[in-house]
Amino acid sequence: MLKQRRMVAEQVAAALFEAETAIDIAITKAALLTGVMPQLRKQAGASALIGQAAVERASQAIMSLTEARRAMVETHQELSIVQTQIGLGAVTMTDPGSGEKPPPMFASDEQPQIGRRALRAIRAA
């Protein structure tokens, strides 16, 4: 039964990491689009009024993606609780595509904080 729970947890973790990565990539690409539009408008010699609505919409998209990212981070936190509830609290789930070692269980070995894990850096998209 423990083996089955671990297999299911690994599948959920893989889907979670994939979703987190997709949102990060979308934020990056939307930011690039938002940044390039004013540059290209200026290079074309067009008025600042040209494309303003498009820049505003792209900026709104970034905010929406940021909200989606927050929801995904909160999902990640909730799944960490579920992981403990199903008896897999000692198992570290990592993104296999990250090439990183699992983060330490506690932020400080001298003063472990129960239920708190150290933060890990997010790889660039």
Taking only the tens place, the pLDDT of each residue in 51-76 is 999 999 999 999 999 999 999 999 99
In a domain? residue 119: no
In a domain? residue 120: no
How many structural domains is the chain composed of? 1
Handedness of CA 97, 102, 107, 112 (dihedral sign): positive
Residue 12 CB partners (closer than 8 Å, separation 6+): 79
In a domain? residue 26: yes
In a domain? residue 53: yes
Going by pLDDT thresholds of 50, 70 and 90, the confidence category of residue 18 is very high
Domain extent at residue 78: 2-85
In a domain? residue 8: yes
Tell me what the mean pLDDT of segment 32-38 comes to: 97
pLDDT the model gives residue 1: 76
Residue 72 CB partners (closer than 8 Å, separation 6+): 16, 19, 20, 23
Contact between 91 and 82 under an 8 Å Cβ cutoff? The reply is no
When the pLDDT of each residue in the chain is averaged and rounded to a whole number, the result is 82
Task: Enter the pTM of the model.
Answer: 0.69
Q: What is the DSSP letter of 112?
A: -
In a domain? residue 104: no
In a domain? residue 51: yes
In a domain? residue 49: yes
pLDDT the model gives residue 87: 83
Which of helix, strand or coil describes residue 108?
A: coil
Residue 115 CB partners (closer than 8 Å, separation 6+): 84
